A and B are shown apart, each in its own frame.
Chain A
Amino acid sequence: MKKLMWILMFLAFPAHAAPLHVVATLPSLAAIAQDIGGPLVQVEALTSPRQDPHYADAKPNLIVTLNRADVLILNGLELEVGWLPPLILQSRNGKIQKGALGYLDAAQFVHLLGVPKGAIDRAMGDVHPGGNPHFLSDPRAGARIAVGVGGLLARVDPSHATQYQQNAANLAQQLDALAKAETARFAQLPANRRNLVVYHDSLTYLVDWLGLRQTATLEPRPGIAPNPQHVAEVLQAMKTAAIPVIAQEEFYPQNTAKTLTQLAHAKLVVLPGGARFPAESYLAHIKSLADGLYDGLKP
């Protein structure tokens, strides 16, 4: 049915019209845009899922990519602050400058977690002042972003507004259904199998979605590499509470986690850092995240 819909859309799409050029900073955002835009859009991701999005290189070829973009979708909350702003400025592209129609900060659609209360400073680590930016591992956030991206594409390309909005609504519905199904599956786990340790505070939304409990991070504070004293404390806590899993994305170092899981008789679950765009859809990525974590947590 979905294939038939795309074929009909493709036939309805004038052969001479160039697809909308969508650039997303992260592969998961690119996958969402591709799911919604189908053949009406040409999507590029600026980073790889195997790359920590905090620390991408601001390569000048990305300026060329941004120069030709009709739409830029970014994660926001300063996740890309270390490399994206000069690229946008040097792109000379008025369509994607901040405040322009084609500039979309995905974080605006998300119910944010980890928003600091009160004054913050860097003694607390590399804290994101607007809240935790790692929401793309939560399909509930993904659903809201999908609707936002559908709305954006409809505004930029009103002649296909209905298709974009319908596809966005369909994707949001599928993500919500998956979110509920996985929440129910994880709720079947014994209570002591729903605790985990993470490397960085980057699985906060995933943990919240699946009803899990994050008991510690290997980083003593966000962005500060693990140190022996803190790791010893985490090990003790893992042993005491029989924590079954350390979970982390593939772009974080694994040596410390491997040693800790051996010493604490736990499992190390290495999760994909994002959708394998363009081969993988966002929905499939979320399913693989949940499956990977479930396999690690199940007795």
Chain B
Amino acid sequence: MPHLNILNRQRGLWLAGVLAMLPPLGAAAEEPADLAALQAALAADASATTVPASTSGGESPLMPSISLIFDGAAAWFSDRDNLQQGGHDPTRTGFNLQQLELHLESNVDPYLHFAANIVWGPDGVELEEGFAESTSLPGNLQVKAGKFLNPFGRLNPTHPHAWHFVDAPFALTKMLGADGSRGLGTEFAWLAPLPWFLEVRVAVSHPDPDTGRSFVGTAAKPVHTFGDLVWTGNVRQFFALNDDWSLYWGLSTQQGTGPASASDTTQIYASDLYLRWRPVENVDRSALSVQMEGLWRRRDWIGRQMDDWAGYVQAVGEINPRWEVGGRTELGSGVTDDPLDPAWTGKRHRHTVQLTYYPSHFARLRLQGSLDMPSWRPEPIYACMLALETVIGAHGAHSY
């Protein structure tokens, strides 16, 4: 009875854990016979959970996995007063440091995994992420605590290394923040017991202006109560249509107190879709993916209600391990007299194309051109960027 055996072992571990939190045996009021039985059970569990070595060589003992990722770009803008908002975006003509990211991760113990991203950027050094995550809670739950990117949409929880364009879509930098939506907090994720992948995530986090600009948390309006924290909800489903085609769909929301006053609220709703075609048998590892995200935001702002929306659609063709090409189009609305973006009064279109060359799996050169057409500016803004990324250290895994 394999399952029963494993179940017994898990029960034994729970029992051992519960007993560890109790006063020492003998101090409590158990009967001697019970004590003997419990001690025997603990001893049996200790021997049953001793497992033989199960990993191969190649890893330094007890060293976390460490990698260092550099992103920098040479850029040209037709207008010095460009509209780049992202914390990792090239923002000026000339050379731009996008980030130098130190990534560390390791298991803490059999129950927790820890990961950290420490980022050197134009404004100094910052702990971008640093969080512990459970590995095996019952009920298909997973809990994360620390500082992390909120589970909102498809691109927000990722880092520039996983992006297919040099800069972030303006939908995200305008509504979530220059560095996306992240903060100190906790997240609960539940994997539904279904034949396909359906995951529900709920996070509560502490906003600040760079990582939650649509919410309270500025120096003038700091978080005062638990009611000021930002709540993020996300439901994701994945459908493997066949071996080659797959579809990933998500719905997200963020709710919290607005930046102006405690009685104001901000709500953001979004949906994202990722369709990928990668023929498993293609020796060139060719793939084509289409990704889109749309966001809608409602803000109460001192007696006024403001609604706006923004989104993007991108297509990326991975021709072979060396070459990739992509295009992205973005569209967003504006609000007159928006206190966060006072100049952004109307629609903004931006079209971007990129060509990427990978000398190896650990480096890339990306040439990108864009045409930005904000309706409130008389002239479009042209931009051209050549970005370099290098990765040293551990080979990180790629999320889907």
A67 to B142, CA, bound (A): 12
Contacts of A94 in B (CB 8 A): 10, 110, 135-136
Q: Is B6 in contact with A95, judged by CB distance below 8 angstroms?
A: yes
Bits for B371-400, please: 1 = Cβ < 8 Å to A, else 0.
000000000000000000000100111111
In the complex, residue of chain A having the shortest beta-carbon distance to the beta carbon of B49: A101
Which A residues, 165 to 221, have Cβ-Cβ distances below 8 Å to chain B?
none
Contact of A113 with B by CB under 8 A: no
- Whether A251 pairs with B283 at a CB distance below 8 angstroms is yes
Question: Are B136 and A93 in contact, CB atoms less than 8 angstroms apart?
Answer: yes
B107 in contact with A98 (CB, 8 Å):
yes
| A64 neighbours in B (Cβ, 8 Å) | 191, 194-197
CB distance from A291 to the nearest CB of B (A): 22
Let me know if A138 is at the binding interface, CB within 8 A: no
Are B57 and A131 closer than 8 Å at their CB atoms? yes
**How many residue-residue contacts, CB under 8 A, span A and B?**
170
How far is it, in angstroms, between the C-alpha of A107 and the C-alpha of B284 when the chains are bound?
Answer: 27
Q: How far is the CB of B149 from chain A (nearest CB, A)?
A: 14
Within the complex, what minimum Cβ distance (angstroms) separates A82 from chain B?
6
Task: Out of B137, B142, B285, B395, name the residue touching A78 (CB < 8 Å).
Answer: B395
**Interface presence of B236 (CB below 8 A):** yes
Which residues does chain A contribute within 8 Å of B2, judged by CB atoms? 17, 20, 70, 156-157, 159-160
Give the contacting residue for A223; candidates B134, B281, B361; CB below 8 A: B361
- Residues on B with beta carbons closer than 8 Å to the beta carbon of A100: 51, 110
Question: A129 in the interface, Cβ–Cβ < 8 Å?
Answer: yes
A129 with B196: CB separation less than 8 A: no
Known contacts A60-B238, A92-B136, A223-B360; A130/B196 CB under 8 A = no
B240, CB-defined interface residue at 8 Å: yes
B116 to chain A, nearest CB (A): 15
From B133, B141, B248, B283, A89 is in contact (CB under 8 Å) with B133
Instruction: Report whether B141 and A58 are in contact in the complex, using a CB–CB cutoff of 8 Å.
Output: no
Identify which of B110, B194, B196, B246 contacts A97 (C-beta below 8 A). B110
Q: Given A76-B55, A77-B56, A105-B56, does the pair A86, B6 have CB atoms closer than 8 Å?
A: no
Determine whether A45 belongs to the interface, using a CB cutoff of 8 Å to chain B. Answer: no
A128 to B136 Cα, complex, angstroms: 29
In chain B, positions 308-339 with a C-beta closer than 8 Å to chain A are 320-322
For B141, what are the chain A residues with a Cβ–Cβ distance below 8 Å? 92
Shortest CB–CB separation between residue B115 and chain A, in angstroms? 9
The yes or no answer to A112 lying at the interface (CB within 8 A) is yes
In the complex, the answer to whether B55 meets A157 with C-beta atoms within 8 Å is no
Q: Determine which of A57, A89, A104, A252 lies in contact with B54 in the assembled complex, contact meaning CB atoms within 8 Å.
A: A104
Asked if A280 CB lies within 8 Å of chain B CBs, one says: no
**Interface residues of B, count at CB 8 A:** 60
Nearest Cβ in chain B — how far from A39, in angstroms? 13
Chain B hits for A224, CB < 8 A:
360
A130 touches B197 (CB 8 A): no
Judged by a CB distance under 8 angstroms, whether B58 is at the interface is yes
A106 contacts across to B, CB distance below 8 A: 56
Interface flag for B297 (CB, 8 Å): no
A148-166 interface bits toward B, Cβ cutoff 8 Å, 1 = contact, 0 = none: 0001000111111000000
- Please tell me if the beta carbons of A60 and B248 are within 8 angstroms of each other in the complex: yes
Do A92 and B400 have beta carbons less than 8 Å apart?
no
- Determine if B399 and A58 form an interchain contact, defined as CB atoms under 8 angstroms apart: yes
Stretch at the interface among A48-56, A232-240, A260-268: A48-56
CB-CB contacts below 8 Å: A233-259 with B: 250-254
Task: Return chain B residues, CB-CB under 8 Å to A83.
Answer: 397-398
Query: In whole Å, how far is A163's beta carbon from the nearest beta carbon of chain B?
Result: 12
Of residues 196 through 226 on chain B, the ones whose CB sits less than 8 Å from some CB of chain A are 196-197, 199
- Give Cα A251 to B283, complex, Å: 5
- Which residues of chain A are near B140, meaning CB under 8 Å? 67, 92
1/0 per residue, CB under 8 A from A, across B237-274: the answer is: 01010010010100000000000000000000000000
Q: B51, B196, B276: which contacts A99 (Cβ < 8 A)?
A: B51
Interface assignment of A81: CB less than 8 Å from any CB of chain B: yes
How far apart sit A64 and B360, CA to CA, in the bound complex (Å)? 32
Least Cβ–Cβ distance between B288 and chain A, in angstroms: 13
Nearest CB of B to A36, in Å = 14
| A86–B397 touching, CB < 8 Å | yes
Does A108 belong to the interface (CB within 8 Å)?
yes
On whether A225 and B142 interact (CB within 8 A), knowing A70-B6, A92-B136, A98-B107, the answer reads no
CA distance A78 to B56 in the complex (A): 9
Asked if A84 CB lies within 8 Å of chain B CBs, one says: yes
B396: chain A residues at CB < 8 Å are 82
Question: Are the C-beta atoms of B238 and A61 separated by less than 8 Å?
Answer: yes
Residue in B135, B278, B398 whose beta carbon sits within 8 Å of that of A82 in the complex: B398
Known: A63-B197, A92-B191, A126-B360. A254 touches B57 (CB 8 A): no
Least CB separation from A152: chain B residue: B54
Give A63 to B133 CA distance when docked, in angstroms.
16
Cross-chain contact of B283 among A95, A122, A131, A254 (Cβ < 8 A):
A254
List chain A residues, Cβ under 8 A from B56: 76-77, 105-108, 110, 112, 130-131
- List the B side residues contacting A250 at CB < 8 Å: 281, 283
Q: What separation, in Å, do the CA atoms of A91 and B361 have in the docked complex?
A: 26
Expressed in whole angstroms, the Cα–Cα distance for A19 and B127 within the complex equals 46
Q: Which residues of A contact B240 (CB under 8 A)?
A: 59, 61
A61 B197 Cβ-Cβ under 8 A: yes
**Of B1, B58, B59, B398, which is within 8 A of A58 by CB?**
B398
What separation, in Å, do the CA atoms of A190 and B400 have in the docked complex?
A: 49
| Alpha-carbon distance between A157 and B321 when the two chains are bound, in angstroms | 43
When distances are taken between beta carbons in the complex, the residues of chain B under 8 Å from A115 are: 57
- Asked if residues A225 and B58 are in contact (CB atoms below 8 Å), the reply is no
B37 contacts partner chain A, Cβ-Cβ < 8 Å: no
> What are 29 contact pairs spanning A and B, CB under 8 A?
A18-B3, A52-B285, A58-B398, A60-B238, A61-B240, A64-B196, A70-B2, A77-B57, A77-B58, A83-B398, A90-B191, A94-B10, A95-B6, A97-B136, A99-B54, A101-B51, A103-B55, A108-B53, A108-B55, A115-B57, A130-B57, A130-B58, A131-B57, A156-B5, A158-B5, A160-B2, A223-B361, A225-B322, A251-B281
**A76-B56, A97-B110, A126-B395 known, 16 other contacts, Cβ within 8 Å:** A60-B197, A61-B238, A63-B191, A64-B194, A76-B55, A82-B398, A86-B397, A90-B142, A94-B110, A95-B136, A106-B56, A107-B56, A108-B56, A130-B57, A155-B51, A157-B2
Q: 5 nearest interchain CB pairs?
A: A130-B58, A94-B136, A107-B56, A157-B2, A60-B238
